[in-house]
Structure 1
Amino acid sequence: MAAAGLAKVLGKRLDIKLVESDDIGTVGVGEATIPTLLNFHNLLEINEQEFMAETQATFKLGIGFEGWRNVGEDYIHSFGMTGTDHWTAGFQHFWRKGVQRGLASDYGDYCLELKASQENRFAHLPNQGMNYAYHLDAGRYARYLRRLCEPRGVQRIEGKIVRYTRHEDNGDIRSIVLESGQEIEGDLFIDCTGFRGLLIGEAMQEPMQDWSQWLFCDRAIAVQTASVGPAIPLTRSMAHQAGWQWRIPLQHRVGNGLVYSSRYLDDDAAMRQLLGNVAGEVLTTPRVIPFQPCQRRNTWVGNVVAIGLSSGFLEPIESTSIHLIQRAVIRLMQTFPADGISPYDVAEYNAQCNSEIEHIRDFIILHYHVNQRQDSQFWQDARAMEIPAGLRHRIELFRATGRVFRIPNELFAENSWIQVMLGQGIMPAAHHQTADLMGDEELSHFLGSIKASVDRTVQQLPAHQLYVERYCGRPDQAAR
């Protein structure tokens, strides 16, 4: 992603070398994305149908959280807007009054993307009327981007990095040395070496900030299975006694995984739990992936920029890993050095990275902390833990007033916070007085017309599986 972005925007001015080894696998579980990826693809001038066919992608309208609030209680965090806001107050205030007056149905009934995901329907709508992302094969996606890079001037070099050299005067990286003995010099090095963090961690000694006091999960097991039914436009996130399980449907297979805390569940028990709860033939050997929920204190140090897992990792619950790579690449292009590296650019880059990931961290903590499960110590401890002050304020503000205010430039907008807090069982105690300006008849018509419009549109959408097959499916699918 970094090579593709830089080559497209700055390739005519730069000498870009991409060093990677086919012998080193990727973590390969980042198969669910969020709508911001469409912006990155627009930047790269990617043809969507070609991309989806190459990566065997399907569409994604949100995440289904099963059992997160309590055992047997489910909700969806969708990508769409819900209802219609007033400039003084969000739709949730009018909906809240409607609930009090017996005039409103479920909050999700007023969101097109949410209802379409429940009905397993999808289509592109005029004027970008449907917000969506993708489920994709991460390995195929990397190979697809590589084919975009090389015609745009990126030189790919196959090999393993065994050491690096540094400038004596300032400690910056001077070169990397490959197993073959080849030495590659550079002015700026982008560290994409994953959890190893070869340059940012080993060379530059930039420490991690540990967030395991809030995010207990530190293991994942990933496995691929054969498809046994139509692909749905929804990532399934199924809570269990010590974490959660994902299920991601692609065109040619299904991605599965178990995210859990080793403090509450050992690896053998986790493996049995995952394999006992998958559908379809197991296609790959399951593997345990240890991780630490953390972030580098600084992700740009000297002439090294860490992108991806080398910069830190939260967990895949809200599919933000690929988004954070994309944001880091775009942010780097915005602050790219011209005549030497500016300490002011570096400081601004790091400040923006830290602010963004802390907001995402808090949003993820919300899912765990606000739960009503009594079935395991994991969920009870998550509910009892002390949380960051800013998150505490957001929760209590919504609980008391129904208000949500978006912090500038943060990823998750108001409706995301509302959907998750309502889904986790927080019902505001009050609503904005603007909603009181509507009488029962007017409010009933207002809510009913939105719901009716959503229902009409959803019923006109084709089945998601059929739409994918016609739009970007394999030749054997398109003929069906």
Structure 2
Amino acid sequence: MQETAQDRRIRDIVIVGGGTAGWMAAASLRRHFASAPINITLVESSEIGTIGVGEATIPTIRRFYQAMGLSDIDVLRATGGTCKLGIRFNDWLKPGSSFVHPFGLYGQDLNGVAFHHYWMRLRALGEKVPVGDYSLGASLAAAGKFTTPSRDPPSSLSVFDWALHFDASLFAKLMRQVAEQGGVRRIDARITKVNLRGEDGFIESVDLDTGATVTGDLFIDCSGFRGLLIEEALHTGYEDWSHWLLCDRALAVQSEGKGDPPPYTDVTARPAGWQWRIPLQHRYGNGYVYSSRHTTDEEARAVLVGSLDERLLHEPRRITFNPGRRLKAWNKNCIALGLASGFLEPLESTSIALIETGIEKIKLLFPNRDFDPCVVDEFNEMSRLEFERVRDFIILHYKANQRPGTPGGDPTGFWTHCREMSIPDTLQKKIDLWKARGHFVRYRWEMFSQPSWLAIYAGFEMLPESYDPSVDGFDAGQLSGALAEMRRAVAEVVAATPAHGDFIEQYARPRPVAAE
């Protein structure tokens, strides 16, 4: 199409902030608009550090980097990565409990009826086998085994997926390489002023401490919690969810680690929150996410450091945050990504995934310089729904706990409060329908599908009051035998699979230089 004086197409995208969000956006958008006359400039200051805590992902990250021509092995080697089959929850239901939330399916559906109804009937008959025994992903994780999924799985019992644990700073470095090779221009400078247009309040340009000014048509704010553009300049506003998500601080520390890395993220309930442990090739990531209303920073540090019996690589770093989201992810000609758009605690490794989906929405609803309100409104509605659905899934983990109350069992009162608190109506509806009929409610723009909800419901022993009556048509002995055969098939694959550490040693080395 020939350009005219009335041409309203976007010509200049300015990304403010580097780190994981900024460089993922730069690399992905540059590739998407490879043949379009669009310039992409990223402004970041090498003097400003990034949060750099996020080291665990969900399987969508693999599709993200594969779209840029990178293989799983490329990324594992470049980032010191390990494989992640899911998340192991320790002590969340109650002290001594443990279950895995895998990336994969459970059992086999029969006659159009979901597998969990057959599993529920077997429980009613007295065979209380953990649902994870019917999941290849969960069983491999529990055994410390790893292999890549079959490209042509013989049955649903063979279906599982995987993600990565990686060094977030090394992943950002890899994304920067991809972006700059594609033609993204990087400016190393601090922004000293954001200039707004007088007639409509849109962002016109940013002034730099070098004396230069960078103009743009579309600005993407990846400046972290600060929200330099979306909040400080445009005063967008924030929706606070701290009445549902009590944790508002984290202590993060890296350690040497011991033994072979497990193929899962470990999350362990603590007195006022929970602790993560993430295995990399060259170190482990550890952290304690906690509520400042229920413990002090000093007490939290003692819990975290006291749980680690290996050399720490630095003093624990404190991060403060306010769970919630911007009232608008897209305001005027500015779109917020990553921490600038909002923050949900890292319990289910959703931070990087929300960056991915934000980038996909930018591609899907890419504007012209008129910034049609219907396009902006649709983006904001999609973003709101997605944030709220992830929020509800995370709240479920706290609401469903059965950790004993005081005296003694819940010294801070944190877990009792979470169990007794009111929850969003959208989540309550899901729980009610699940308990009444074993039915999964599926909303638009949800990151977690039915198997994930089953994993959490079952792991917390939040089970339906009844199962589908059609499964009563199966003879009890035949049902028991059929499900035993499913477990046997899963167990045979697990037994024949190599250890995760062996997989990493064979394919993911050489060991990278640890990020500073």
Quickly name the TM-score band, shorter chain normalised: over 0.9
Match 1:75 to one of 99, 113, 129: 99
Are the aligned partners of 2:78 and 2:512 in contact in 1 as well (CA < 8 Å)? no
1:209 aligned to 2:232? no
Compute the displacement of 1:383 (Å): 0.9
Structure 1 residue 238: Cα displacement = 0.5
1:256 aligns with 2:286: yes
Alignment of 1:122-133 (within 5 A): 122-127=146-151, 129-133=159-163
Matching residue of 1:38: 62
- 1:178 matched to 2:214? The reply is no
Q: 2:367 aligns with which of 337, 346, 350?
A: 337
Supply the RMSD in Å over aligned alpha carbons: 1.5
Q: Secondary structure at the match of 1:420?
A: helix
* Equivalent residue, structure 1, for 2:78: 54
Instruction: Encode CA deviations 1:414-465: one digit per residue, 9 max, x unaligned.
Output: 1111111111121221100121121113212321221111111111110001
Which of 450, 461, 479 does residue 443 from structure 1 map onto?
479
Aligned match for 2:434, one of 398, 402, 407: 398
The TM-score, its normalising length taken from structure 2, stands at: 0.90
Three-state SS of the structure 2 residue aligned to 1:44 is coil
Q: CA offsets, 1:131-183, max 9 Å, x none?
A: 00000000000001000001101001111111111111111000011111111
1:96-107 to 2 correspondences below 5 Å: 96-103=120-127, 105-107=129-131
Task: Give the distance between the partners of 2:426 and 2:221, measured in 1 at CA.
Answer: 31
Taking a change above 3 Å as real, the CA distance of residues 86 and 160 of structure 1, as seen in their structure-2 partners, is: farther
Alpha-carbon distance in 1 for matches of 2:419, 2:491: 36
Runs of 4+ in 1 over 4 A off after TM superposition: none
| Residue-by-residue CA offset, 1:317-336 (whole Å, 9 max, x unaligned) | 00000000010011101111
Q: Would the aligned equivalents of 2:385 and 2:445 in 1 still touch at CA under 8 Å? A: no
Tell me the alpha carbon deviations over residues 282-332 of structure 1, each in whole angstroms, 9 at most, x when there is no partner.
012211100000101110000000000011001000000000001001110
Is the CA contact (8 Å cut-off) linking 2:80 and 2:511 kept in structure 1?
no
Call closer, same or farther: CA 1:409–1:431 in 2, change over 3 Å: same
Q: Give the TM-score, by structure 1 length.
A: 0.97
1:9 to 15, 29, 32: 32
Check the 8 A contact 2:105/2:160 in 1, yes or no: no
Report whether the alignment pairs 1:193 with 2:191: no
Give the AA of the match of 1:44.
M
Native 8 Å contact 2:86 2:100 kept in 1: yes
Instruction: Give CA-to-partner distance per residue, 1:104-124, whole Å, 9 cap, x none.
Output: 521110000000001000011
Q: Which moved more, 1:426-435 or 1:166-175?
A: 426-435
- In structure 1, the partner of 2:156 is none
**C-alpha separation between the residues in 1 aligned to 2:34 and 2:194?**
25
**2:309 aligns with one of 279, 299, 303:** 279
Counterpart position of 2:143: 119
Amino acid at match of 2:252: A
2:340 match? 310
Q: What 5-or-longer segments of structure 2 have no aligned partner?
A: 1-23, 153-158
In the alignment, which residue of structure 2 is the partner of 1:463? 499
Match of 2:328 among 275, 278, 298: 298
Query: Which one-letter code corresponds to 1:346 in the other structure?
Result: V
Q: What amino acid sits opposite 1:12 in the alignment?
A: S
Contact 1:163 1:177 in 2 (8 A): yes
Match of 2:49 in 1: 25
Paired residues of 1:104 and 1:447 also in contact (CA < 8 A)? no
* CA deviation profile, 1:76-127 (whole Å, cap 9, x unmatched): 1111100112464321100000111234521110000000001000011321
Secondary structure at 1:281 match in 2: coil
Out of 315-324 and 447-456, give the one that drifted further: 447-456
Give me the whole-angstrom Cα distance separating, in 1, the residues matched to 2:194 and 2:469: 63
The answer on whether the counterparts of 1:104 and 1:444 sit within 8 Å (CA) in structure 2 is no
Q: CA deviation at 1:340?
A: 3.3
Q: Sequence identity of aligned pairs in percent?
A: 40
Q: 1:12-54 CA distances to partner (integer Å, 9 max, x unpaired)? A: 3210001112211111110000011112122212122111101
* Aligned residue among 324, 349, 352 for 1:322: 352
Q: State the secondary structure of the residue aligned to 2:104.
A: coil
Q: Find the aligned partners of 2:371 and 2:84 in 1 and give their Cα distance.
A: 39
Partner SS, residue 91 of structure 2: strand
Per the alignment, do residues 84 and 200 of structure 1 end up closer, same or farther by CA in structure 2, a change over 3 Å counting? Answer: same
CA shift for structure 1 position 475: 6.1
Measured in 2, the distance between the counterparts of 1:472 and 1:451 equals: 31
Q: Deviations over 1:266-286 (max 9, x none)?
A: 111111111111232101221
Code of the aligned partner of 1:121:
K
Q: Secondary structure at the residue paired with 1:68?
A: coil
Tell me which amino acid in the other structure corresponds to 1:405: V
Is 2:448 aligned against 1:424? no
**CA distance in structure 1 between the aligned counterparts of 2:353 and 2:487, rounded to whole angstroms:** 31
Q: Are the aligned partners of 1:115 and 1:458 in contact in 2 as well (CA < 8 Å)?
A: yes
Contact 1:88 1:434 survives alignment (8 Å) = no
Q: How many residues align?
A: 477
Change (3 A) 1:460 1:348: same
Between the aligned partners of 2:465 and 2:387, the Cα distance in structure 1 is: 30
User: Is 1:472 the equivalent of 2:508?
Assistant: yes
Distance 1:262 1:70 in 2: 22
Does structure 2 conserve the Cα–Cα contact (< 8 Å) formed by 1:225 and 1:279? no
Measure the CA separation in 2 of the matches of 1:453 and 1:409: 34
123-132 vs 150-159, greater mean Cα deviation? 123-132
State the secondary structure of the residue aligned to 1:239: strand
Q: State the Cα distance separating 1:130 from its structure 2 match.
A: 3.4
| Residues 476 and 272 (structure 1), Cα distance of their counterparts in 2 relative to 1, 3 Å cut | closer
User: Structure 1, residues 49-75: CA drift from partner, whole Å, max 9, x if none?
Assistant: 111101000000111111111111121
Asked if residue 109 in structure 1 is aligned to residue 133 in structure 2, the reply is yes
AA partner of residue 122 (structure 1): F
SS at match of 2:312: coil
Alignment check: 8 A CA contact 2:385 2:444 kept:
no
Aligned counterpart in structure 1 of residue 425 of structure 2, from 389, 398, 417: 389
Q: Is the alpha carbon distance of 1:249 and 1:475 closer, same or farther for their aligned partners in structure 2, counting shifts above 3 Å?
A: closer
The alpha-carbon deviation at position 394 of structure 1 amounts to 1.3
Which stretch shifts more, 376-385 or 111-120?
Answer: 376-385
